Structure formats: structure tokens, C-alpha cells
Structure 1
Amino acid sequence: MTVTWAGANARRLARQHLHPDAAATASPFAAPGDAVAAMLGAHAQVLSAAELSVGLRGDGLTRTDVRTALWTDRTLVKTFGPRGTVHLLPAADLPLWTGALSAVPTGPNPFPGNARMTPDQVEEVVAAVGDALTGAELTIDELSDEVVARTGPWAGDLVMPGFQAMWPRWRQVLHLAGHRGALAYAPNRGRKATYTNPGCTPLPGTGALPALIGRYLYAYGPATPAHFARWLAAPKRWAAEQFAAQAASGAIEEVAFGEAGPAWVVAGDTDVPDAPLRGVRLLPYFDAFAIASAPRERLFPGAAWERALGGGQAGNFPVLLVDGVVAGVWHQRRSGRRIAVTVEPLKPLSGARLRDLEEQVERVAAIMEGTAELTVGPVTVGPHA
């Protein structure tokens, strides 16, 4: 079977309730956890961007709803997800995520010889982190003291390059402790982040990895092993082996995917929309759709590749989607309840598209619990501003 880029893109948008016509075929997500599950994690290095990502996929969801799910109801967990970056993940799916992420092979050690840890030291530190955080919420400095006390002075050696400082040796496995289910974020203490033990037992990788591949292909397929490896920051050869095993079991099937060539979908999941995709959407920094959709050059065509990416990396700029592809960038600046939104289209927008854009800006304001003012013109700030 052949799947076109346009069909795959429309299906991906519809399954995350970002398709302009999605309301006619499916109900928007009523709970933050459902929206996060559909996009396979919300990038949360900047929590406000994650709040907007979730709200855009929901039915009347606001940033308060996301914060309540995260810190009060605990249906969301803030921890280290794909690519070792901070994500919101559904609490119910944490055993699956930690089981799968723990099974991903690590690449070459990027640290100099004097900073590295032995495999036994890595295990000792992960155990110490989990023990120290059980029933506690600690800042990074408090956690460091506990880890060194439980392991030895070597763990506290200042050999890790950090932000204008040197960090203790044990910090190089902070994200690994998250992947093992021993660490997650707790509410901030003032302006300081804190961590806790979420009490998660990872599922065996033999079951968790196939489940994650299936969810990835449902959300972002058709996709190749190389696409999956890039999304997960995993070795390409390993990813190809995982896909081959799933194909042999009959869990996934091959389709022809335009110029991308052979790609994979969940077995039997070959229906794609026929109607052309129309409409306008705004997506924030590091939105999961912009990160995971492949081939990336089809989502960022022409001038969008230079304007909306940073060295080929998606997420550096919030993006404007027109008819399902990136067609500009945007920026928001908040002052109290006022949210000044500047949108820079790469081509002039028609009157109908401008009205769609105004509706989208109002929706952003509602999710972020503010009042928006729209300016259509150049975005003068750089990435991550």
C-alpha cells in the first residue's frame, strides 16, 4: 500500500486533535493525561510551552488544568523522557515509559576520562538517588549531599561541565535515574526545582519497547527505523533491529511512503484521510508534533527550513501551520494577563486565513488564561526567546 505525505500528515494532526476538521470526527481530549498520551509526551523544559501544547489538544483545557493534573491529581509526571529531555508523561504510562527508556542502548560516553563512571558506580548512584528521594522532595544540592553520603566522595568530584560552573560527577546519570523510575520532578520550592521518587517499577523492556514502537507508529507513522531512532535518540542499527523483530511478529507492516521509501505502520492501520488539509494552527516551542513528524523537510518546506529550524533541529521557534505545514514563526510576550502575540507568516495570509489566525490567538490566550493582542509582522527575537 502507498501512503502519501499529505494523508499521513492529516492523520497525525487528527489523532492529536490538531486537524482543523477533527471536531467532526473525534472528541477533543477532556483530560490533560489523554492529550499527553496522544502526543507521546509533552516537552516540558519550559513548562508554559508544555501547558500550551496540552491545552491546544484539549476541550477547554487551561494551564491551571495541566498544573492541577501534574501537582495535585498526579495524573501527569514531569520527568526525563525521550532524548533525555524533560517531558510531561501520563502517570499511568510511567511503567511503560521507564521500561522502554531503560532498554535503549546508550551511545559513546561523551565525557572525558577523568569524569567518567564505571558501570558499578552508575548503578550505585541510581540506587542512591532512588533511596534518597523516597518519601522526600529535595533540591539538586540537597540530593547531591545525600548521594555523596550514600556512595562516596568520588560522586561529588566537580568534573562535570555545567552552566558556568562545574557539577559533581554523579549528575551525569540524573536523566538515567529518571529513565529507571527512581526520580521525577516535584513542585518547585520557591524558584528552585525539587525532585522525588515517583515509586515506579519499570515494565520489562521486552514488553515495553514493542508497546512504545506501536504507540509511536500510531501517532507518527508511517515512519522508518531511522525516524524512530532520531525521535528517541537511539542507535539507528538498534532501532532497525527492533522494527525487524516487530515485523517478524506481525505487529507492524510495511507501506510505501512517498519519497521516504519503505516505512512502517501498526499492522492494519492503513486508513488515511482523502480530503485536502486546510486551516491555521499555532504550536509552541518544542511541540511534539513538530519534533516527531517525519520526513522533517516535508513539514518544514522551502523557506520554513531556514526560518523555523535551528541547524535542522525542530522546536527552536514556535511555528505557524497553514494547511498542515510550517508557514511561519511566532512569539508571545506576557505582562500580567496581557499576552502580546507576534506572528510572522512566510507568505501573506488571505483574509480568511487572518480570521483563522485571530481565532487561534484567542485560543492561545484562553489556554494561558490571559488576554491576547495580535501583531502580524517580523519576529525579531531569536530561538528560545
Structure 2
Amino acid sequence: MTANASRAISWGEASARRMERQFLARPAGRGTRVAEVVAAMLGAHAQVLSAAEVSVGVRAAGVTRADVRAALWDDRSLVKTFGPRGTVHLLPAAELPLWCAALTAIPTGPSPFPPDVRVTEEQAAQIVAAIGEALDGVCLTVEELGQEVVARTGPWAGDLVMPAFQDLWPRWRQVLHRAGQSGALCFGPNRGRKVTYTRPPAFDPGPVPEEAALRELARRYLRAYGPATPQHFAKWLAAPAGWAALLFRELAEAGAVEEVAFEGSGAWVAAGDTEFPGGRVRGVRLLPYFDAYAIAARPRESLFPGEAYRRALAGGQAGNFPVLLVDGVVAGVWHQRRQGRRTTVTVELIGRRLTARQERELGEQVERVGDVLETKAQLVVGKVTVGPHA
């Protein structure tokens, strides 16, 4: 390791440190709490819960989907809610005050809806308050929650004006993610096939100051995914680029971050956090849909080199395809198909062949995915024929 911040930091060194810090270089040892793994990732994307289970499971020895679900629904050390980018994430319950304070302090862009559809800031605040009141101590489906919101606010909240999935949703749903980000709402256990919502577990201490929360979130982001630029941070949060640039300038003036040379350009790390491994991580990894590493690690052209950029991204967006990493970069896509107690994992290589050692490691990774999903997994190397996010 070296602490010389003046030298240029290569992609291989940066990716090696990122993978080490979120248990991709080597899995967390048995007995590591699931919430600790999720904290290292800065949240696990959970729009598809099985993908979140694989994200966590491949990072922790012996962890299966049952362990992730126990952390979520039994001991409540995890919370499923709306996190970065307004998308569904698993977050550590103990860190929820920090996340809520930071996420609610991020400026929102202009509403994508026409004036007669959108809500005012005052109406949004009324809806969020009504959601928190309605969910206190109960789990409600979205239909049940809608009835409670309308009863507490007024008929305007229930107007069917919001275009969604070739249908119209009630007006109040356009701020559902803001209720999650503010701590008024999280997901509850499914009721049959229906999603439910509830209030998160009560958390202490009291409210975290927004400015302090933003600075801490930026520091954690840089520790997990640095070196990074304000633009990278803004993309990760779906925040305005100008706002992120101002935040980083304030952090630099306060001595909380420092600039380094990374891939020929300036980037930032947390102050004093300038040690990097001497070379890239070797080995094979399978990452599921919207894995935290595939989304946050930048520059994207280095993570998705050459043909991988076209094949493994969807319109430039990461996460829509599960990816195969070889020595820290994307070298394939994959898809799983479960039938009863068996899962077939099809892996498509992109512009390369694997060595005998890498083939053996790929087989071990497929077996690990099967263990996480509590199935017997079989590897097939061939063309992945399904589209993105299938």
C-alpha cells in the first residue's frame, strides 16, 4: 500500500480498493451482520428483491436469501425503502436517520408532470404527513393507503391524473418516494402478491442536521467509490450537477476532501484516504441486476470497456443486465432461470475466452449464486437472449 497522493491513481488500483471495501475482493467472514454488508455497499438496490439478495449474498460467506429476509422482516436491522435516485433500496435501519436527512436535503428538479397534474410543495408536505399518520403501527396496501391519504388531505389527492404504465394513478402517488426518503414510509411484508407499506422502526437519536448528513454521505460515498468527481456523485444520487459541485467545493474548503489524479483527470477522495492497493483485483465475479458496484463505479467506460459498453448497458444506463466481472471489469452478461429447486445460469462472454482458472472460478460463482437463492445452480455458457431487466 502507498499513501502518496501526488502520484496518478489507475483504474486498476481504484477498482481494487472499491472491491475490497464492499467485500467483492473477498467475501465478509461468517458471522458478519447482513446490515454491515449493505452499509459497505451504500445500500442494495431492491426493486427486484431477489437481485438484492444476490448482491448481499455474494459479498458474505454463508449468507442466503433467508438471512437477508430475516434481517428485513424479523430483526428489522434492514429497511426496504426509497433510497438514492428515488429507487427502492435495502438500507441499514440504524443508518436511516442519516439517509433521511441527506436525501431530503437534495434539491429536486422540475416536475415532469404538466401543471394540472403536479402537486405544490405545500400539498406534498400534507401528503407525506398523511402517509406517516396512516401507517403508524399498521401495514397497508397502496389502495388502502390511498384511501387514508385522501381522507386526511382532500379529494384532490385522489384525482386520477398521473400517467403510469398505460394507466392513471392518483395524484398523491407522485410523492410516494419522498415519503420514503423522509422516513414516513417503508415497505412491509407482502400480503399475498400485494406490496404493503408501513412506518420504519423508530430511530434514535433525534433528527440529524441536513448539512452534516450530506457531508457524511459524501464522505462515505468517496470511501466506497472514490476517487470520484462531483458529477459522479450527482449521477449516483440523481441530483443537480451544479449542486454537487458546490457541495464538493464546500467540502474542499473545510478540508474534508482532497484532490488526486485519477485516469488523467482530477477527482476527489475523503481527506487522508489516499492509500490504494498496488494492482487490480484478479478473479471472476457475478453481479445481479442493479448491483451497487456496477452502478456507482466510474468512469463507466473503464468498467465497461470496448464492446461491453454496448452489450452490457442499456442506453448508457448500468444495472439493466446482470454482469460478469473478470479482473474488475465487465466481460460478460448473464441471466438466471429458476425452475423449482434448480436454477440455470446462462453466461455470455463479451469478446474474450476464459482461462482454465477463470472457468473454474466462474463455476464456483454460479454455485454461490445458487446457494444464495437456495437452489441447485447449473452453468451454461452461451448467448443471453432476454432483453434488459428481463
The reply to whether TM is greater than 0.5 is yes
Q: For 2:269 and 2:36, how far apart are their aligned partners in 1?
A: 21
Selected match of 1:292 from 293, 296, 309: 296
Q: What is the CA-CA distance between 1:95 and the residue it aligns to?
A: 0.3
Would you say 1:380 and 2:385 are equivalent positions? yes
Counterparts of 1:209-220 in structure 2, within 5 Å, are 209-220=214-225
Q: Distance in 2 between matches of 1:88 and 1:276?
A: 29
Equivalent runs, 1:97-136 vs 2, <5 Å? 97-136=99-138
State the alpha-carbon separation in 1 of the partners of residues 234 and 121 from structure 2. Answer: 24
**Whole-Å Cα distance in 2 between the matches of residues 28 and 294 of structure 1?**
30
- Which has the larger displacement, 142-151 or 269-278? 269-278
Q: Which runs of 5+ in 2 are unaligned?
A: 1-5
1:321-360 alignment to 2 at 5 Å?
Answer: 321-346=325-350, 347-360=352-365
Aligned to 1:113, the other structure's residue is in SS state coil
Contact 1:82 1:233 in 2 (8 A): yes
Aligned length: 380
| In 1: Cα distance, 2:9 partner to 2:258 partner | 12
Structure 1 segment 86-165 matched on structure 2, within 5 A? 86-165=88-167
- Residue 16 of structure 1 is matched in structure 2 by 22
Percent identity between the two aligned chains: 65
Provide the C-alpha distance between the structure 2 equivalents of 1:192 and 1:277, rounded to a whole number of angstroms.
Answer: 42
- Are 1:282 and 2:286 counterparts? yes
- Once the two structures are superposed, residues 225-279 of structure 1 have per-residue CA deviations (whole angstroms, 9 ceiling, x without a partner) of 00000000000010011111111111111101113x1111011111111134311
Alignment-derived partner of residue 311 in structure 2: 307
SS at match of 1:166: strand
How far the C-alpha of 1:360 sits from its partner, in A, is 0.6
Question: Would the aligned equivalents of 2:280 and 2:328 in 1 still touch at CA under 8 Å?
Answer: no
> Which residues of 2 match residues 5-84 of structure 1 at below 5 A?
5-19=11-25, 22=26, 27=29, 30-84=32-86
Range 58-67 or range 196-205, more displaced = 196-205
Q: Assess if the C-alpha contact under 8 Å between 2:12 and 2:279 holds in 1.
A: no
2:252 and 2:258 in contact (8 A); partners too: yes
1:245 aligns with 2:254: no
1: CA distance, partners of 2:157 / 2:255: 46
Counterpart-to-counterpart distance in 1, 2:307 and 2:254: 42
Distance 1:352 1:282 in 2: 15
Letter in 2 for 1:384: H
1:125 Cα deviation (Å)? 0.7
* d(CA) in 1 for partners of 2:174, 2:356: 52
CA apart distance, 1:303: 0.4
1:256 partnered with 2:261: yes
Residue 3 of structure 2 corresponds to none
Q: How far apart are the structure 2 equivalents of 1:273 and 1:378?
A: 35
Instruction: Report the Cα offset of residue 29 of structure 1.
Output: 7.2
Q: Distance in 2 between matches of 1:28 and 1:45?
A: 27
Query: SS of the counterpart of 2:151?
Result: helix
Task: Measure the CA separation in 1 of the matches of 2:82 and 2:238.
Answer: 13
Contact persistence 1:71–1:187 (CA under 8 A) = yes
Instruction: Name segments (4+ residues, structure 1) moved above 3 Å.
Output: 26-29, 199-202
8 Å Cα contact 1:98-1:202 kept in structure 2: no
Distance 2:118 2:279 in 1: 54
Q: Any stretches of 5+ residues in structure 1 without a counterpart?
A: none
| CA offset digits 1:283-307 (Å, max 9, x no partner) | 0000000000010110000000010
User: What is the aligned-residue RMSD (CA, Å)?
Assistant: 1.2
Any idea what the Cα deviations from partners look like across 1:197-242, whole Å, max 9, x if unmatched? 1145652211110010010000000000000000000000100111
- Residues in 2 aligned to 1:214 and 1:140: alpha-carbon distance in whole angstroms: 36
TM-score by length of 2: 0.96
CA deviations on 1:109-158 (whole Å, 9 max, x unpaired) are: 11011101111111111110101011111000000000000000000000
Greater alpha carbon shift after TM alignment, 348-357 vs 211-220: 348-357
Q: Aligned with 1:77: secondary structure?
A: strand
Q: Report the Cα offset of residue 28 of structure 1.
A: 6.8
Q: In the aligned structure 2, how far is the partner of 1:334 from the partner of 1:12?
A: 31
Secondary structure of the corresponding residue to residue 114 of structure 1: coil
CA distance in 1, matches of 2:21, 2:31: 10
CA distance in 1, matches of 2:237, 2:228: 13
Higher relative contact order (CA 8 A, sep 6+): 2
Using structure 1 for the length normalisation, give the TM-score.
0.97
Do the aligned partners of 2:72 and 2:78 also contact (CA within 8 Å) in 1? yes
Residue 188 of structure 2 aligns to a residue whose secondary structure is: strand
Q: Deviations over 1:7-32 (max 9, x none)?
A: 0010001111111xx36xx7477111
Alpha-carbon distance in structure 2 between the residues aligned to 1:221 and 1:30 = 24
Is contact 1:140-1:193 (8 Å) kept? yes
